[in-house]
Amino acid sequence: MAADSMEIDDSLYSRQRYVLGDSAMHQMAQSSVFLSGMGGLGIEIAKNIVLAGVKAVTLHDTKQCETWDLGSNFFIRDEDVLSQKRRVEAVCPRVAELNPYVHVDMSSSALDDNTDLSFLRKYQCVILTEARLSLQKRVNEFCHSQQPPIRFIGCDAYGICVRVFCDFGEEFEVSDPTGEEPKEIFIQTISQDNPGVVTCMDNQPHGLQTGQSVVFREVNGMAELNGTSRQVSVLSPHSFAIEDTSGLQPYEHGGFFVLVKTPKTYRFETLERQLCDPQVLTPDFSKPEAPLQIHAAMLALDTFQEQHSRLPNVGCLQDAEVLLKLTQEVNATLRNKASVNTELVRCLSRTARGFLPPLAAAVGGLASQEVLKAITGKFAPLQQWFYLDATEVVRPLQSLSAEEFSPRGDRYDGLRACIGESMCLELQKLRVFMVGCGAIGCEMLKNFALLGVGSTKSSGEVCITDPDLIEKSNLNRQFLFRPHHIQKPKSTTAAEATCDINPDLQVDAHLNKVCPATENIYSDSFYSRLNIVVTALDNVEARRYVDSRCLSNQRPLLDSGTMGTKGHTEIIVPNLTESYNSHRDPPEEEIPFCTLKSFPSVIEHTIQWARDKFENAFVHKPSIYNSFWQTHPSAEVVLQRMQTGESLEGSFQVIKLLSRRPSQWEQCITVARLKFEKYFKRKALQLLHSFPLDTRLKDGSLFWQSPKRPPAPFDFDLTDSMHFTFIVSTARLFAETYNIPYSEKDLSEEAVARVLSGVRIPEYRPSQKSIETDETAKKPDHSKMPLSSEEEREAIIQLEQAIATDNVTAERLRMSPLQFEKDDDRNGHMDFVASASALRARMYSIEPADRLKTKRIAGKIIPAIATATAAVAGLVALELIKVVGGYEFESFKNCFFNLAIPVMVLTEPAPVKRALIRDNIYFSIWDCWTIFGHEDFTLSDFMNAVREKYGIEPTMVVHGVKMLYVPVMPGHSKRLKLTMQKLIRPSVDRRYVDLTVSFAPETDGDDDLPGPPVRYYFSRDGETP
């Protein structure tokens, strides 16, 4: 977004626009940021804010590249170390490459206690990393004293501890603290009282808080409320009070209200003032004192550096005791404090020279979001400290010798100082399978590269797969990709970029989906070679499938996801935790068929209607047409079979399409004009004919009352740009599906008007067909409905005519189904959906949506931003270290965060549930009993084998949905003599099947007991029979 033109490049920024909104994007495009410190934390922040699209960033650093940097800074390469480049010179061009709209420059001037700070006045936000506390205080005081204040952020990462501090001035106004989109809530009643009580329709929760304001619209009766804003006092989740309504007209029906977003002012203190009485965010409620404990320990570390001009030495017990004593002294001076955590201080002392890349990624994501808040005023800022520690990562390693953590002069020295040499080697030996190479996938690969996961020399490997190609909109957050990679595969491109960061890695890139169809590739033997599976997916179904494969193959799974500024991580460890499939989110509510077809009430309904029209006309019907003529290649044979009374599925629809098929561009315009007439005039006239405005229900209430809106038909007007867009986009899409050529000249208003002047619109006559009003009714499938004799006759006549007029050629028996593509503005897809939705909204007096919102809803776009993606991937990579170390259940953490508010909550995963079968025989989802058979092994042999091996009597055996043995079923007792091979009929390459077996209860009359799956191998050694 070049600041001069202020145009937002939607092809690049679309997913982020849905998170931040255009106003914030424009403010970013006019903001300059100063970022000091090009270590691992600084480069994370640089990456995220440049991807986001600020106007200019100055990167500042005074150090030279060292081998150590290769393990913390993903933009420093071996050659930079060899040529002794300055860090800032090495990273500046690589950061600049991330976004052509951002001006990135560099500085390597001294920044210390003697520097004249006036040069900072040209920046809106200043971020310091790797800076001593005395310098942070000095720069913060300068920034705070400016008019307007320069927003200041200080970030530090020392070994297992990280901190972020924010000071945005004494009065910082935030336009939108949460970023949540206000919903329209329909009204059931409003009392004529003091105060008036508003009740929501269908007990819908209003989600309001006392003191907020709402605006009323379309209220009938108490019309004085319309367009006014009223403060609310919440009475229940479904009702609230407003001021006196006793003097207003009585409420009749209808109307809705919407929350009014009000700006909020936040007050900040300087770093100096906040040191003694810190205001902190608590991420982990299992250790609520941790933030204050880390605060004291890190302040003591600052004092240690001032006194010794160095950090504590790795494994030096004397330094640890000095730091502990300093922490106690610092803690005594704090007003807001907790008890000193000795273990934390000793861990910090031992690891302070080290660096944990995933921890920097997690906090770098959060800090970057604070930068964006500082320059846009969008979302609630951090007040004022954020602390996070990774004590759980290093706690089990404390008994190791100091030598484990000593530097060896390679890229892993920073990591080694935190987790030791043995754990570094374990990471390098890892065999990881990552599914998905989008935004989270790119961030995960960066973490793998810095951690050395899957190193060639240790026989490790990272296998990645993703069938997608790179689109321009990916570049805004999938930071391993550049413009010249567009239309190349994500997985192979990401693999190359990962090996650039760390050439030691072995990355095997595939282009496959992971689903039942690829089980021949991602087979059990494939999973048996893995140590861990990571998902970087964007849909629940794929996660469920991968989870089921990890469950049956006893492999740990690390899952994460984001939506806008929200993120979650979930850690699944065999025999310790529940699996992903152990919990299910409620299914998404579907819009009732009758609402979409006839009674829309909100803009989402009209957008979904337009999307359905696209799918039906340009995808579904052409696909049915093609498959019908592939099945029945001869029209003459179809005619003969229909004449003899044979019913062919889909024939009526297909023949209607053939007989009405346009063959010229002008006919496509005509079809589009008739569609306009049908959708926006006749549909409304028919509804008002069936249900006149004064129609009443059996209880005497009006039929047309909220949320039902009566439609208002309108005439076609070529001078209305929305009408014109609908005609042209509809005609284009029909031309493409029917393979009809057209030129740019054909799309001009003049050419279209000439064709339209000759279109004859038949006179409207109301029909007597019934209109569906039942909200539970489903959409009928016309292709499967039996034809009436009249429809059959009509189809036969139409086909006879088509054959007689030589209209049945190979070309005419073929159509080109489209695939909805929301991101290409040249193809007319979004033109059709946006214009159709807007015209229907106009017909029903629904507040319209702009093209951006329409695109998000129609394309089911998940809002996304690099800050949240970086944070989840960092949190997942921290858990990966614990999984590799075989840590206890208490060490693991799931996380939910919302960077907008900001809130981060770390919790223990759900422990695995163990079900008692009987007599101390338990099982969990991770258990799988095994029976090895052979070619002649019978069902009876199987039952006996289970009884002998596990001591329980099987009563029922089921394979998938097929019942192999249920004693009460007729003829099932005879099956006992049949071989398992014959009963199951496995495919040639099948080694085993998982069977569901029920067991006899202890006392008669009780229900059968469920057990774990019983894996039956068809041969004794488990090989393919």
Burial (0-12, 13-18, 19+ Cβ within 10 Å), 217:
middle
Which residue among 143, 594, 668, 895 is the active-site one? 594
Contact 503, 517 (CB under 8 A): no
Residues linked to residue 906 through DSSP beta bridges, in sequence order: 895
Q: Is the dihedral of CA 947, 929, 1013, 934 positive or negative?
A: negative
Rounded (10°) angle between helices 866-884 and 40-52:
140
**Residue 784 tokens, joined:** 């499967």
Closest by CA position to 423, among listed 437, 412, 438: 412
3-state SS, residue 638: helix
Task: Name residue 178's amino acid.
Answer: T
Contact 708, 601 (CB under 8 A): yes
Q: Which residue reads 């070619």 in tokens?
A: 935
Residues linked to residue 557 through DSSP beta bridges, in sequence order: 533, 572
* Rounded Cα–Cα distance for residues 742 and 875 (Å): 53
* Rounded Cα–Cα distance for residues 974 and 977 (Å): 6
Helices (H), 782-888: 789-804, 829-843, 851-858, 866-884
Calculate Rg over the CA atoms of the chain.
33
* Rounded Cα–Cα distance for residues 792 and 653 (Å): 11
Burial (0-12, 13-18, 19+ Cβ within 10 Å), 184:
middle
Let me know if 155 is a catalytic residue: no
**Residue 395 contacts by C-beta under 8 Å, 6 or more apart in sequence?**
343, 347, 891
3-state SS, residue 945: helix
**Residue 859 tokens, joined:** 């394309």
* H or E element, residue 126: strand 125-129
Contact 850, 540 (CB under 8 A): no
Q: Is the dihedral of CA 913, 917, 921, 927 positive or negative?
A: negative
Query: b/e map of 86-116 (b: 16 or more CB within 10 Å)?
Result: bbbbbbbebbbebbebbbbebbbeebeeeee
Contact 245, 194 (CB under 8 A): yes
**Residue 306 tokens, joined:** 């001032």
Closest by CA position to 1019, among listed 990, 995, 997, 999: 990
Contact 397, 45 (CB under 8 A): no
Q: How far out from the chain centre does Cα 761 lie?
A: 47
Rounded (10°) angle between helices 317-333 and 290-308:
120
DSSP states of 52-120 as a string? HT-SEEEEE--PBP-GGGGGT-TT--HHHHHTT-BHHHHHHHHHHTT-TTSEEEEE----STTS-GGGG
DSSP states of 568-612 as a string? EEEEE-TTTB--GGGS-PPPPPPPPHHHHHT---SHHHHHHHHHH
* Rounded Cα–Cα distance for residues 812 and 625 (Å): 10
* H or E element, residue 389: strand 385-389
Contact 470, 490 (CB under 8 A): yes
Taking residue 593's Cβ as centre, other Cβ atoms within 10 Å add up to: 17
* Rounded Cα–Cα distance for residues 609 and 591 (Å): 10
* Rounded Cα–Cα distance for residues 917 and 394 (Å): 39
By annotation, the residues acting in catalysis are 594
